[in-house]
Homo-oligomer: A and B are copies of this chain.
Amino acid sequence: KLADEAAEKKKKSTYKLGGRVHLDSWNFLESDPGINFLETGDYDDDPENRWDFRRIRLELEGTVPNNMLYRIQIDFNNPSAAEMKDVYVGWNNLPYNQTLLLGNQKRPIGLDHLNSSRHNVFAERPLAVETFNEDARRPGIGMYGYTDDELLHWRYGAFLLENISTDGRVRGDYTEGGLYGRLSSSPWYDDISGGRGYLHLALAGSLNQTDGDGNLDLDDNNNEARFRTRPEARSDSRWWNTNRILGANHYQQLAYEFMLNVGAFQLTSEYFGNWVQRDPLGGFNGDDLFFHGGYVFASYFLTGEHIPYDRKTGTIGRVKPFENFFLVDRCCGGTGTGLGAFAVALRYDYLTLSDSDIRGGTGHSITAGLNWYWTAYSKVQTNLIWGTIENAGQGQSNSGPDDTTVPLASGVGGDYAILGMRFMIDF
């Protein structure tokens, strides 16, 4: 009879609704004139303080008989111009615990990008992670799997390089695409303590083909050989920015992940290398380029919780406080209060996007974080960021033909300090 019921169940499609709200406050405490220029194009006009809904995301996911699945995720943080996030269909329960997804999904490179924004330790992702996998999601096809003992997890796929989050479409006669792969392993995972101890290691890489002549010809492709990122805060402009690199026809990436967790303590690090090849174009023969960056952070729960790890996906999971904040339970007669969970964290970032004639910026930054977990579903993150950047400005240079960039005579740079808070809930 149970089998009958299960069979019946399989004949209907299902759905699950979810969502998240992230509300940010960002204060640009200090900024040198060079930073002002990178943000606004004016040395005297400093970055504006702001309150943003960073994410107002609705998710609908489910299954279709017999072993298909779908997921639609729309973000209304800017309600008059919504964005698509995950939008895919696929098959699960394939041999070797595999799942195949077709549609808009995260490219498998960069641990901090594969982690959900609901679970990450810092409010914004590291410089190198954002730079070398900007906005993470692209339309493509991806395979995900793991070994039965959960020691190994892999994901690989082929993706188009155009970011379709706002318009849902790729246009152009030239196919800009990439092959991506990531292999992760958790050689140590302490099952007995419920996963309070583990070691995660991973290698990822990509091979990409881009349209170096961009808008110079008749096809509609923009040149996707562009690397850029904000200063780990929601500025208007990307301060590190190579702009679209004229003549760049290929690039390759290699990335390394390390994550060690011992109880309430975690140490995490990633490193990215990125190689770009340029062909002669318009009388200019640019050298091949090498950009790279990475980060290391340590985090510690003052209240003793730990960051869970999901061996099947090679990413972190939801932190569960031992005690919730503001627990007021009056239905049983008494009134209780709780403090929630507290964690501190410190991150060091390095990124250079300046090489040869390209002045995309070289710099590093320190982020101090304090996370106050109200419940397993809600928390407030406070991040204080000090950074410095040199030899930047390529992103403010669009004076070439058809908006292509031109070599800059000299770079700009400066120091900055930013204070951010994020209030977040998910369901």
Contact = CB atoms under 8 A, between A and B. Distances in A.
A15 interface: yes
B89 A168 contact: no
Interface in A359-393: 374-378
A93 interface: yes
A324 B50 CA distance: 50
A169 to B, nearest CB: 4
A21 B67 contact: no
A87 B75 CA distance: 13
A427 B15 contact: yes
Contacts of A37: none
B326 A67 contact: yes
Given A13-B427, A335-B95, A51 B139 contact: yes
A256 B172 CA distance: 39
Interface string A396-427: 00000000000000000000000000010101
Interface string A69-85: 01010101111111110
Contact of A60 (B19, B64, B84): B19
A166 interface: yes
Contacts of A329: 66-67, 93
Interface in A30-73: 42, 44-46, 48-53, 56, 58, 60, 62, 64-68, 70, 72
Given A23-B103, A50-B171, A80 B79 contact: no
Contacts of A21: 70, 72, 87-89, 103
Nearest to A22: B89
Contacts of A45: 218
Contacts of A102: 23, 423
Contact of A427 (B44, B64, B171, B425): B64
B58 A169 contact: no
Interface in A191-227: 218-220
A346 interface: no
B219 A169 contact: no
B58 A84 contact: no
A137 B275 CA distance: 49
A170 interface: yes
Given A68-B377, A87-B21, A164 B13 contact: no
A46 B166 contact: no
Contact of A168 (B42, B67, B79, B175): B79
A276 to B, nearest CB: 24
Most interface-central of A78, A168, A218, A375 (chain B CB within 10 A): A168
B82 A79 contact: yes
A162 B110 CA distance: 37
A165 interface: yes
24 contacts: A23-B89, A23-B102, A42-B218, A46-B218, A48-B220, A49-B172, A50-B172, A51-B160, A53-B104, A53-B164, A56-B72, A56-B74, A56-B168, A64-B425, A65-B377, A68-B374, A76-B84, A78-B169, A79-B82, A79-B165, A80-B82, A80-B83, A95-B328, A102-B423
Given A42-B218, A78-B167, A79-B82, 20 more contacts: A15-B427, A21-B70, A21-B88, A21-B103, A23-B103, A46-B173, A48-B173, A49-B175, A52-B170, A56-B84, A62-B427, A64-B425, A68-B377, A76-B82, A78-B168, A81-B81, A81-B167, A91-B326, A91-B328, A93-B328
